Amino acid sequence: MPVAFNAKIGSGDAPDAVSVPSFLGNPNSSYRSRTGNTAFMSNDVSMSRTPFNKLQLTKLLINTLHEMGYSESAVMLQRESGGVEVKSSNVQRLFSAISDGQFQHIDLNMLLGLPLKHSSLRSLIFGSESGHPLSQDSSENSERTAFLENSHVAGEDRAMKIDNLIVKRADWRRFFDIMQKDLGVLEPLVQNMADFDANTLASLLDTVEMLVLINKQVFLELMFDQQDSSLAVVFLRTVLRKYIQLWESLLMYQESSYALTPDTLLKQMTSILTCPLDSTELSEVWPGSLESSRQLLVRSLSNYIDPNDLVPRGRLLTLLSQAIKYQNSQDVLNFEDEDEYLVDDDSRQYNLLQDNSSSSQRISFAPAKMLAQNADEIWYLEFSPDGRYLASAAADSLTDRKVLIYDVERDFQVYKVLGGNDQCVLYLSFSPDSRYLVSCPFNEEAKIYDIHKKGHPTDLNQEYEDAMVAEVIQPDDSFKIYENEGTPNGSSPRIWCCSWFQTERNKGRFALGSPDRDVIIYDIGAKSILFKLSQVLSLNANLSQEQFPRVHDLKITCNDKYLVLMAHEFYVDTYDISQIPPVQSGERVSDSNIDVMGFHVSKVSRLSVGKRMTCLAVPNVKNSTRNENSLILINVQPHELQLWDFKEQILVQKFYGQRQLQFIIRSCFGYDNKLVASGSEDGKIYIWDRFHGNIVSVINGHEAERASTRISNKTFGRNCNIVVWNPANKNIFASGGDDGLIKIWKVVRG
């Protein structure tokens, strides 16, 4: 949890200092005991009787004093404690080299000496006995040694001794040479990474990522500070790009906590070369000053250091926030937002001197709007990833208005009608950029729509004063899964579900699942099927003997690493698809097919549910944490929802209460993934606390019978078939039922 202290207080330097929330009170105020004496100290807690390490507690206090601006007090405590350091000497040397811009003193050997969270690669690279620095000439080595020795000196003494080095600019050419030498050491390790255990791989990934971050900073300084684009281009091509490629190779075997992917980072760095340096688009990569940029690098590298050797930034406030969250969590109906613990607002205060009772930030749910434009049962709903649109699929056999798209920001007026669907539509899926929508009808032909394409006007939205013109659009593309290559003969496999890839690496791709035992990967740019998963798995000797399952639902995780399949055969399979070749720039249609022999797909887990399942859901991408990326939610007959961790292969939670016996009922995560919501055959909406499993609310959603319409004389049922949560606005969700109605709901706080 990010925390910020105010560095304006005090006169000393406060590394990584940030703003003190107002709820901490005035740091200059003095505390006086009510009794005016210190007799109460006789009952002080003995450190020997607590489970807390005194050294760690001292480090925590020193670091917090620095962050609050009490530098003199921090120094006094450091002296009184016998010289306890909040940063190890090796960490100080690295951070000093970065802060002073002396990048030529940074190399692989320095990083190998750091106390990383995972074990060091030093013994792997240098052998168990040596461990000497990488070869450098004597003059280079002596200057570097002098700098490192000076960087360990604290305070004013250090500033005086390295003054001559601070004013001297970095030796970029030497840094380039060092990075290329280090690259020569790392490349053989990456080539042989299949021989390493998980801990060694994690350490190798951390080391390479740190070098990528450092080289990224050098590139930014060459562009924005030195304004030497020629040298920056050379560095990007000869050094940074190669480290990014090395990093990408490692990610095939390991997951990264870094926010950017290799492709995104490379495109980001390349775009800097073409954008004006004062462009607002570059504010994400350049904070505006050299000092701020280097400080951001230090903070990023801090995430890789063992906390025992570098106290994490804002650690005390993190612990305090966790304590308050725990206190409030004792009220199972209390829901507080994550940012409420960090709000700089005098009206929101927590008493640190006593336990805080729940502030009763309870939530309830109220109807906001009812949409009645659909002529038949609502079978599917989907919000676009940006939260702007809501798409609905109805079991409409009489008209061509089976799929409607509503504009959330225009009071849910109909934005587009998706024509060309002869049969009922079972499934809808938006692309990550909210532009394209895939519809999966009851038959074997999937359709792709560009929802912003112009179409023919309709007479919808007439009841609105400021009515927008809803248009009927036809699909941009449609396709079937042919049993054999060439001209299809007979019927094709049905297509019942769809999920898009999320990252730039696989932009424009999605997976389609069939109950006729197949999954295909499609590319909208090439307008062709890239490959069939059943064909890829048949080449794997370990999996070839098993018949491919009948797929009723599927999901691709937010990092494009895993494909999760919900099978008719009462189990859920997860496959690692991270080795699928990425989208190539300028890829031609003739080159679109992927060589199925050129990559490997492996099964990660199988969850034996043992009962019929009707829905598979994953956490909201925008609000999911790393720990939530392996969670899946499934509706199970009869009358049950199950929350699983597919990587750990454990059942995390069960949710009871809703009715589900005969029909397909769909559920979702909601409210920053803190809630679970589902439809029910009794027409109600059931909402649970994801963590505790208790019911938070039961809403009468679609119980009342709907009268026949001018379009249809059909008698409507009472099922609530689906609930979906807006991914961009946690206070809005929607439900659809057999009554043909879509109901919009809002979250009410307090």
Question: Of 279, 302, 325, which residue is a domain's last?
Answer: 302
- β-sheet bridge partners, residue 116: 305
CA distance 66 to 82: 17
CA distance 750 to 377: 34
CA distance 576 to 537: 12
The structure tokens listed for 281 are 């688009």
Tens digits of per-residue pLDDT, 526-541? Answer: 899 999 998 888 876 5
Say yes or no: 505 and 648 in one domain. yes
CB distance 375 to 433 below 8 Å: no
pLDDT at residue number 56: 92
CB distance 556 to 500 below 8 Å: yes
Say yes or no: 455 and 583 in one domain. yes
CA distance 680 to 670: 17
Q: Is 337 domain-assigned? A: no
In 332-470, DSSP assigns E strands to 363-371, 378-383, 389-394, 403-407, 413-418, 425-430, 436-441, 445-450, 456-457
CA distance 184 to 178: 10
CA distance 24 to 314: 13
Tens digits of per-residue pLDDT, 331-363? Answer: 777 777 665 555 455 556 778 888 876 655 678
Say yes or no: 276 and 384 in one domain. no
Tens digits of per-residue pLDDT, 46-71? Answer: 666 778 889 999 999 999 999 999 99
Say yes or no: 497 and 603 in one domain. yes
CA distance 236 to 460: 54
Does 397 have pLDDT greater than 60? yes
CB distance 471 to 417 below 8 Å: yes
CB distance 724 to 382 below 8 Å: yes
The residue with tokens 């999937």 is 446
CA distance 315 to 335: 23
Does 293 have pLDDT greater than 70? yes
Residues 85-95 have a mean pLDDT of 89
Average pLDDT, the chain: 82
Q: Is 27 domain-assigned? A: no
Residues 604, 609, 615, 621, CA torsion sign? negative
pLDDT at residue number 340: 53
Q: Kindly list the strands in the beta sheet with 667-670, ordered across the sheet, starting from the edge strand earlier in the chain.
A: 667-670, 675-678, 684-689, 695-700
Say yes or no: 389 and 291 in one domain. no
Tens digits of per-residue pLDDT, 577-605? Answer: 988 988 876 544 444 567 777 788 889 99
pLDDT at residue number 697: 94
In 4-44, DSSP assigns E strands to none
pLDDT at residue number 335: 77
Say yes or no: 122 and 257 in one domain. yes
pLDDT at residue number 73: 95
Cα atoms in the Cβ-side hemisphere of radius 13 Å centred on 167: 5
Say yes or no: 572 and 696 in one domain. yes
The structure tokens listed for 376 are 């038949």
Q: Kindly list the strands in the beta sheet with 363-371, ordered across the sheet, starting from the edge strand earlier in the chain.
A: 363-371, 742-749, 732-737, 720-725
pLDDT at residue number 399: 76
Confidence grade of residue 704 (pLDDT, cut at 50, 70, 90): low
Say how many domains are in the chain: 2
Closest C-alpha to 580, from 527, 533, 519: 533
Q: Is 483 domain-assigned? A: yes
CA distance 38 to 295: 42
Helix axes 290-302, 198-220, angle to 10 degrees: 180
CA distance 298 to 217: 10
Does 618 have pLDDT greater than 90? yes
Say yes or no: 367 and 254 in one domain. no
CA distance 413 to 462: 10
3-class DSSP state of 73:
helix
The structure tokens listed for 218 are 């050098």
Q: Is 330 domain-assigned? A: no
Omega cis (within 30) before 638: yes
The least confident of 156-165, 414-423, 695-704 is 156-165
pLDDT at residue number 169: 67
Q: Is 608 domain-assigned? A: yes
Percent with pLDDT over 70 in the chain: 79
- In terms of Cβ atoms closer than 10 Å to its own Cβ (0-12, 13-18, 19+), residue 606 is middle
pLDDT at residue number 218: 96
pLDDT at residue number 285: 85
Q: How crowded is residue 225: how many other Cβ atoms within 10 Å of its Cβ?
A: 14
Q: Is 422 domain-assigned? A: yes
- b/e map of 358-382 (b: 16 or more CB within 10 Å)? ebeeebebeeeeebebbbbbbbbbb
Say yes or no: 492 and 371 in one domain. yes
CA distance 532 to 142: 59
CA distance 264 to 216: 13
Distances (CA, A) of 540 to 316, 544, 545: 51, 6, 9
The least confident of 118-132, 317-331, 513-527, 721-735 is 118-132
CA distance 420 to 613: 30
The least confident of 286-300, 329-343, 383-397, 625-639 is 329-343
The least confident of 167-171, 537-541, 653-657 is 167-171
Q: Is 1 domain-assigned? A: no
Does 620 have pLDDT greater than 60? yes
User: At 206, which amino acid appears?
Assistant: D
pLDDT at residue number 446: 93
Q: Which domain holds residue 398?
A: 363-749
Three-class secondary structure assignment of 654-714: EECCCCCCCCCCCEEEECCCCEEEECECCCEEEEEECCCCCEEEEEECCCCCCCCCCCCCC
The structure tokens listed for 468 are 């927008």
Confidence grade of residue 715 (pLDDT, cut at 50, 70, 90): low
Closest C-alpha to 62, from 47, 82, 90, 91: 82
Say yes or no: 238 and 386 in one domain. no
The least confident of 52-61, 122-131, 497-506, 643-652 is 122-131
- β-sheet bridge partners, residue 430: 437
Q: Is 50 domain-assigned? A: no
Question: Of 258, 275, 302, which residue is a domain's last?
Answer: 302
The residue with tokens 């190539």 is 584
CA distance 194 to 252: 11
Tens digits of per-residue pLDDT, 193-247? Answer: 888 888 888 899 999 999 999 999 999 999 999 989 999 999 999 999 999 999 9
User: For residue 532, what is the enclosing H or E element?
Assistant: strand 528-532
CA distance 640 to 632: 14
Residues 1-27 have a mean pLDDT of 38
pLDDT at residue number 30: 38
CB distance 106 to 130 below 8 Å: no
CA distance 267 to 284: 13
The structure tokens listed for 213 are 């971050």
CA distance 518 to 655: 31
CA distance 201 to 228: 36
pLDDT at residue number 444: 84
pLDDT at residue number 196: 86
Confidence grade of residue 153 (pLDDT, cut at 50, 70, 90): very low
CA distance 708 to 596: 52
Say yes or no: 398 and 473 in one domain. yes
Residues 366-372 have a mean pLDDT of 95
Question: Of 287, 302, 317, which residue is a domain's last?
Answer: 302
Percent with pLDDT over 90 in the chain: 53
Residues 99-125 have a mean pLDDT of 87
Tens digits of per-residue pLDDT, 633-654? Answer: 999 999 999 999 999 999 999 9
CATH number at residue 539: 2.130.10.10
